[in-house]
Amino acid sequence: MEAALTLPLAVFMVLGTLQLFLMLQARLLTEHAAFNATRAGSLSQGSCKRMLDAALVSVLPAIARTDSPEKLRDAYVRYRDNRFDPATDDRRSGPVIWIFRKLGIRNAIAGGRDDAQFDDPDRPHQLDRTRLETTVVFWYPMRIPFANWVMARSTLAAWGLGNYAAQNPLMPAQNAQWTRERTPTEVQAGVLGEFKARTMAGEYVFPIQATAAMRMMTPAMKRAGFFDQPNCGGP
């Protein structure tokens, strides 16, 4: 009798701990992805494609086998469009990576002309426009059964996005809901909306964010795929 009551809790603690350790690994990979994406953009005049590729390759170990050059190549080919495959990713279908970029550099290239003197130290008023700051959002796929459902639903409640309803075998059904104390920023609002939509659709992913900044090593260019839009792969 005692085992029947405690075994579900023990199993969840084991599964939840495993899921948390996997998310910690994904957090480290996301920080690495933010650095690599920022560096790629700094060296490629702000190319969205190169920034997405750099971030995507950095997080591939969290979603696919990459323990050999052949497996790394296959994983990149599978996710190079920056989207999950519903047939092989447990019905997940959204983007893998979002990249948000600040608009300061975009303002510096208004008019569509390249600035050959973008880093001229004699023009200190321009220096604040040569700093590339990016926020990478990795939609980490939670793969541990049961733990993914509990963690996704409890996070929705903790962020004020919905109720958490669960059945306690020793008590009647209980509801819990918390509200956000601060108004979310534009980035946070987009992430919260996407997280809720995916969770309600049964796609158990968790948005892991990291930010990095670096001085531009090449002048930003306003052309298709560069700084014609502030975000890469995002909403």
Enter the tokens of residue 198: 């995916």
pLDDT single digits (tens) 177-227: 555 555 556 667 788 888 888 888 888 899 999 999 888 887 776 665 566
Note the pLDDT of residue 151.
83
| Secondary structure, 3-state, 78-99 | HHCCCECCCCCCCCCCCECEEE
What is the DSSP annotation of 97-151? EEEEE-SHHHHHTTTS---TTTT-TT-GGGGGGSEEEEEEEEEEEP-STTHHHHH
Q: What mean pLDDT do residues 84-108 have?
A: 79
User: Are 103 and 84 within 8 A, CB to CB?
Assistant: no
CA 26 to the chain's CA centroid: 10
Sign of the CA dihedral with 37 first, then 38, 44, and 45 last: positive
pLDDT single digits (tens) 37-94: 999 988 888 888 899 999 999 999 999 888 899 999 999 999 989 999 888 888 888 8
Q: What are the residue boundaries of the structural domains of the chain, listed by start? A: 2-232
Give the Cβ contact number of residue 193 at 10 Å: 13
Residues whose CB falls within 8 Å of the CB of residue 156, separated by 6 or more in sequence, listed in order: 162, 164, 195, 196, 199
